[in-house]
Chain A
């Protein structure tokens, strides 16, 4: 840049500065030339496109060359869609004035799901957020993320997001919307807000709650409703039942020796899951002295990642959970009525004995989909076991209003039906899709005369509203939110709204008669008002910088279980087959339906992509004569839906599980045609479980796209496991099953790795198979989405896959997960067969791909025994969609058609660390290179590092007796190795 100025000489920099200083408001300028408005620049502008192109054919003069350089400099500033938000946001590591092209900055903010925040650090390249990492300081993240946070950056750039205010389907403006609002507001104020309803999803934002309350104070007759599919009604009601108030349970898994999870996907979904997974995994390290291994019992209707991680997993219909818990509670000594259980007697006895043995160090957890009585029982059990205050603490609910949402929605629908609602403001929610079908929300919505929708997408609900206003993505807006333990994060935007969206704060503010206030002002003012200290500016900066507001975690609350909670008689058992509804493991309640990364992320247990299915046990399938892909009609009462069947070993008999979130009718191009809408057979009375299910074959079939078709290890020693007892007897058990060739057998001396020698260890004790690593890898490495058809043809592009194997009986299998990235073999079979030398070995042990050199013979993939190579059969990368260009990681090549690709060990991160280290004249430190998968992993299962550094965590793990490589008998000498899984079963239950 400086050379340009020197060369040109004409620019009067002092004058420029002065002009900038004089200018009012924001000034976007592309180049110094533009600022100076030099005649050259004008000429350049005119020549910038077509006419100037021909100039390349002539030898450009030195002067012309510099002009063109100036033009590219100008265009770099022209990336119009990546404006920084106008307000000051605080970077995590460096101040914004440090922006160095090519150097990403990280900003702390938080993503909310179901209202609950999880802290993230977002990587920003020149103002473009490209990658989400966890915020180590945030209690719900501890540095890791779930799949949703990883994929959220794709939603930000989703070209299908709604982009403009519409009125009656026609393009309108925020200004005319505001005009309408102020008109309506006048009349509403006159009626004290009668007929005005606001429908939001779960709100934990202190600012938004305050805004809503302020608005309701102005309009006392107005009502604020909350509804979202995956709400916590049951848990809140359970707490209310047990304690008389809807407290929120926070678990401390680190201190739990024995955990009983009942239909609870503790590690995989729900508020705090990422943290719980980490705490759980910290107690699953048999190779470390210190805390002893915990033991996890799970009873659940269909396998979840939590069930797969269990030492003892019992497939049990959701309706039987209550009965099991009653029997366990009785065995532990609680005075509760029970009606017996279908669970095996020895199982119940062993669990009860184990819980009793670990008083104060045990934990009983019940899933959000279980009815309130079961929650209440669990609370009572935890209290009786002395766990309260130790492994479980109760806090104020983080929700601003924890009242039951289903009742609230039902009230709203009743009022709409009765014509009592005139104006309905919907903030973010999509009830036209996800309200239980029997409420007929969409039908009654038409009774409302003014319907307004604020949402990320022009979705099912938006289509029924007169006004639709595009909402800001969380990476575009100022807000705040509470985590599962009450900790507040002030969310700061990474980028100005791409499509001029408005946040809920701005929308509510418009209804409060202040349409011009920005989200920044609203949030900042709230905190200014509530900050009790003296130096607000420092508080604000620190809170933004850290991503958490210090001291906002809710203090433990003293509560006691009321006697009445235990007096409820056991519920009656349904006959026949039950139907369970569960949030989808990858697209949740449907809000991520248009996110290609999440659609293509294989569901952890079924490995299904792009579809949901009716999951049932092999035994039930056999009884009904069903095979995978058979389309059945699921009928509950008057409602029915057609669903393909997927047989999943480990499902409870007489139980069918369906995942919500699919069958979206208006969600975007990606979601179109994916799955069936299970909401159509949900009822408001029984939102999570029905026992009036009838299954009827239709005779049709549907092809489902799965990424893993074979589920047995075929006697190959891929996942090696033993019990804790066996491990103590023989720590080297993992090495007895395979014959590793002696490296000294070769005539040639092995390559000596002088500098770094990179390697990876994946701890199978920790891995729960959640898939966060897969999405993280996809985001980091610009991995394309290929679509349902291509997945069905075996062409998914994930560089890292998580293999899932079943072992043991078909009905109660053990479930294993094994992440498989590239092994970076020292004797890589792929390297010898490449005819063009496009895949080679680096002096640091990396097996590297030179995309430019690849001609696409696919020989390397054929010869890879791990089949981790991925081929661009078509032009999978989207080169056309403008918004997606900003999403890409600029440090990683976007691959073209016809080239092979695969895991690089995030070589771009290694090189970034190398540059830093070389600048400081030192070696790269242990832990300085963190691969994308490793960073995202909630359970710290993936460890990457330098094998040559004996002090590194990697080298220490590689020296563990549990460390083994797969297919080492082929003499591939993989650099990615595994720590064999050690289970901690109850000796009383271990059979054989």
Chain B
């Protein structure tokens, strides 16, 4: 973080910070970004990071293998707590993914050009998060090899998914989301892949990027079609930002369990997802930015804006907590009231208060611009929010289930070593994919960054 010169200077902070550092030309942008992939020597730190995360990925595979052979009983789930780390992490990962889609689609439509430098990275993050998220519902099933029964396909058994179940909606929501996110990311990559193809020296690399570039020549018609497709996909992806987590929230709000059955869930979940997503983007971009020296592209303005979004969504989430508590009291239902009291005073009360601290108290620091522009502070806050959002899902999934209606059936949930190894494994898998991504693909959109370079006429496009 050596180069973060502006943050301490209030005079600079007064004016709107630029979205690209001064002095860049088209060529310098292209050089700088593509060199990470093509020319620069793979740094030692990359190797170390990749090796660790690769090993963690192996841990994930080992955990999954064991799970498939021995059964879902390896996890801490039980009756009454039928869902544990599986669904917590599913929701958590899906939520993290949301920032990517939001940045790339909604901010694109809203013409927030500051998104350009972070969208590629955020989209990749989305994709990898969704890949992890999608693992969980598969793994959590008692008989995962029959997962395809949730798909509506004609079969000799004459059966069909049961359309009233939110889990079936989930299948559609998540698979659509994964597909659109992938397409969006991949189409956005095509011009840059072509750039890499053109710049690559090694023949093999040339061929690989050439295939991936799908014959992109940069002709006007290509650009015209590209822009149309990209905009269409952005239009498609935009409702997904809202719909996916809305549907995920239905998994709970359709249920009758106190702590689940609440109408506030869809907006509250979406806000929470964006909250967690932006926190994750910050968590990842801040170190990468300084390691690869990308301060010119991911400027303090980006960081500041993301801090603001974090604050805004954090406030929505805090409102959600407040409303849950209020509605429990207002409902007059003893089950709802007990649910809230149990969160606050029950055996998992530490986690609940930790959640309030992480998600409500700490982010209030972001009201201060000084904090927002202090990279270390922001990075720590982003980590805290990530933990807080994980705790939120723990509270919703586990603490609601463990004490529902009949006290005789109440129980406790204790994650097992396998729960942790699977979770840590998915973290490793996520990071390993990110390592591969920053090594083999341009992590910042080269051609879009070029549009930000001050035009020869002295004006940026748009």
> What is the interface of chain A, defined by CB distance below 8 A to chain B?
708-716, 718, 790, 793-795, 801, 803-805, 818, 820, 829, 832-837, 853-859, 861-863, 865-867, 869-875, 897-900, 966-967, 970
Contact = CB atoms under 8 A, between A and B. Distances in A.
B159 A863 contact: no
Contacts of A866: 405-406, 409
B159 A710 contact: no
Given A794-B79, A795-B78, A795-B79, A832 B254 contact: yes
Interface in B248-293: 251, 254-257
B409 A867 contact: yes
Interface string B67-97: 0001111001111111100000000000000
Contacts of B144: 855
24 contacts: A708-B408, A710-B408, A711-B407, A716-B407, A793-B414, A801-B408, A820-B406, A832-B254, A833-B164, A835-B150, A835-B171, A836-B159, A837-B160, A855-B147, A856-B142, A857-B141, A858-B77, A859-B251, A862-B257, A863-B256, A866-B405, A874-B73, A897-B142, A967-B406
B79 A834 contact: no
B408 A855 contact: no
B82 A862 contact: yes
Given A711-B407, A855-B143, A867-B80, 18 more contacts: A712-B407, A714-B338, A718-B408, A794-B412, A803-B409, A835-B165, A835-B167, A836-B149, A836-B162, A854-B142, A858-B140, A861-B79, A862-B80, A862-B83, A865-B405, A865-B406, A966-B406, A967-B405
B166 interface: yes
A718 B255 contact: no
Contacts of A829: 255-256
A964 B234 CA distance: 56
Given A793-B76, A862-B83, A835 B334 contact: no
10 nearest A-B pairs in the assembled complex, by CB-CB distance: A856-B142, A898-B142, A873-B73, A794-B78, A858-B82, A867-B409, A803-B408, A837-B162, A835-B167, A898-B143
Contacts of A859: 82, 165, 167, 251, 255
Interface centre among B70, B143, B144 (most CB of A within 10 A): B143
A964 to B, nearest CB: 15
A795 B412 CA distance: 11
A368 to B, nearest CB: 31
Interface in B161-178: 161-162, 164-168, 171
B199 to A, nearest CB: 48
A708 B80 CA distance: 11
Contacts of B367: none
Contacts of A718: 406-408
Given A861-B79, A873-B77, A834 B162 contact: yes
Contacts of A872: 71, 142
B56 interface: no
A709 B137 CA distance: 29
B79 A871 contact: yes
Contacts of B251: 859
Nearest to B408: A803
Nearest to B342: A714
Interface centre among B71, B83, B150, B405 (most CB of A within 10 A): B405
A829 B149 CA distance: 21
Contacts of A871: 79, 82, 142
Contact of B73 (A790, A855, A857): A790
B411 A709 contact: yes
A619 B143 CA distance: 48
Contacts, number: 165
A795 B76 CA distance: 10
Contact of B167 (A833, A867, A899): A833
Nearest to B254: A833
A708 to B, nearest CB: 5
Nearest to A803: B408
A495 to B, nearest CB: 34
Contacts of B338: 714
Given A836-B149, A857-B167, A867-B406, A794 B142 contact: no
Contacts of A795: 73, 78-79
A640 to B, nearest CB: 33
* B interface residue count range (under 10 / 10 to 19 / 20 to 34 / 35 or more): 35 or more
Q: Is the interface of B mostly helix, strand, loop or mixed?
A: loop
Given A820-B406, A834-B165, A898 B334 contact: no
B146 interface: yes
Contacts of B407: 710-714, 716, 718, 805
Interface string B126-160: 00000000000100111110110110000000011
B404 interface: yes
A967 B81 CA distance: 19
B410 interface: yes
Contacts of B103: none
Contacts of A794: 78-81, 411-412
B71 A900 contact: no
A865 B159 contact: no
B165 A861 contact: no
Contacts of B375: none
B401 interface: yes
A268 B142 CA distance: 39
Given A713-B407, A837-B160, A865-B256, A854 B143 contact: yes
A979 to B, nearest CB: 18
Nearest to B73: A873
A873 B256 CA distance: 23
A856 B141 contact: yes
Given A716-B334, A867-B79, A874 B70 contact: yes
Contacts of A793: 76, 78, 414
B149 A853 contact: yes
A805 B334 CA distance: 19
A857 B162 contact: no
A897 B149 CA distance: 17
A715 B334 CA distance: 9
B254 to A, nearest CB: 7
Nearest to B411: A794
A318 B131 CA distance: 65
Interface centre among A790, A801, A867 (most CB of B within 10 A): A867
A718 B334 CA distance: 13
A122 to B, nearest CB: 32
Nearest to B149: A836
B408 A805 contact: yes
B140 A857 contact: yes
A716 B403 CA distance: 13
Interface string B329-354: 00000110010000000000000000
A872 B338 CA distance: 30
Nearest to A708: B408
Contacts of B137: 857
B102 to A, nearest CB: 28
Contact of A898 (B141, B150, B412): B141
Interface in B82-126: 82-83
A875 B4 CA distance: 58
Contacts of A712: 407
Interface centre among B401, B406, B411 (most CB of A within 10 A): B406
Contacts of B403: 710
A869 B80 CA distance: 9
A668 to B, nearest CB: 24
A715 B82 CA distance: 25
A793 to B, nearest CB: 5
Contacts of B161: 835-837
A710 B256 contact: no
A833 B143 contact: no
A713 to B, nearest CB: 6
A715 B171 CA distance: 40
Interface centre among A805, A862, A875 (most CB of B within 10 A): A862
B420 to A, nearest CB: 16
A792 to B, nearest CB: 10
Nearest to A966: B406
Contacts of A863: 255-257
